Amino acid sequence: MAHTYTRILIHMVFATIERSPLIHAELKPSLHAYMAGTVRNLGPHLYALNGVDDHCHLILDLPPKLALADFANQLKASTTKWVKKEHGADFGWQRGYGAFSMNQESLSRAVRYVETQEEHHKQTTFRDELESFVRLHGMEADPEFIDGEWKRA
């Protein structure tokens, strides 16, 4: 085959350090704008980005030559450095992340889900949300659930 065809749709989730409410209303628009630009510069196509005060969701199409772990580390490092420099805030992301594969048929539903995070979190906690994602994808959540690590079921 002369060309490479890939569609690597990922729903990524990561939390602020200690899941602290660090993404306040004044920071959120500029943080999300910076994150979106960083995602584009790193290579993925970004379909959606949103979150609440203690975590972010991204829906993206990962290029085949970009390792997911490298992408996550670069995005988190870049945004942490930017927030500290531009806003003088004590800011950081929790170690680890959730990354869940998706199919084309679920893309529009996932985008709507991310776009309505504020509404969603009026009814559920981040912990419950993340535990639901983990179970939906056939994994077992670590009982401590603090550092964001998961084990295969």
Give the model's pLDDT for residue 93: 95
Give the model's pLDDT for residue 129: 81
Give the model's pLDDT for residue 139: 82
What lies within 8 Å, CB to CB, of 149 at 6+ separation is: 96, 142
The answer on pLDDT for 147 being more than 80 is: no
CA dihedral 99→122→124→148, nearest 10 degrees, is 40
Mean pLDDT over each residue of the chain, to the nearest integer: 89
DSSP string, 90-111: ---B-S--EEEE--GGGHHHHH
Q: What are phi and psi of 112, to 5 degrees?
A: -60, -40
What lies within 8 Å, CB to CB, of 44 at 6+ separation is: 60, 61, 62, 63, 66, 71
pTM (predicted TM-score): 0.88
- Cα–Cα distance, 130 to 39 (Å, whole number): 22
User: 9-59, pLDDT tens digit by residue?
Assistant: 999 999 999 889 999 999 999 999 999 999 999 999 999 999 999 999 999
- Cα–Cα distance, 141 to 38 (Å, whole number): 30
Q: Which residue has better confidence, 81 or 96? A: 81
Amino acid (1-letter code) at residue 57: H
Domains present along the chain, CATH in parentheses = 9-152 (3.30.70.1290)
User: 3-21, pLDDT tens digit by residue?
Assistant: 889 999 999 999 999 889 9
Pairing of strands 55-61, 9-15: antiparallel
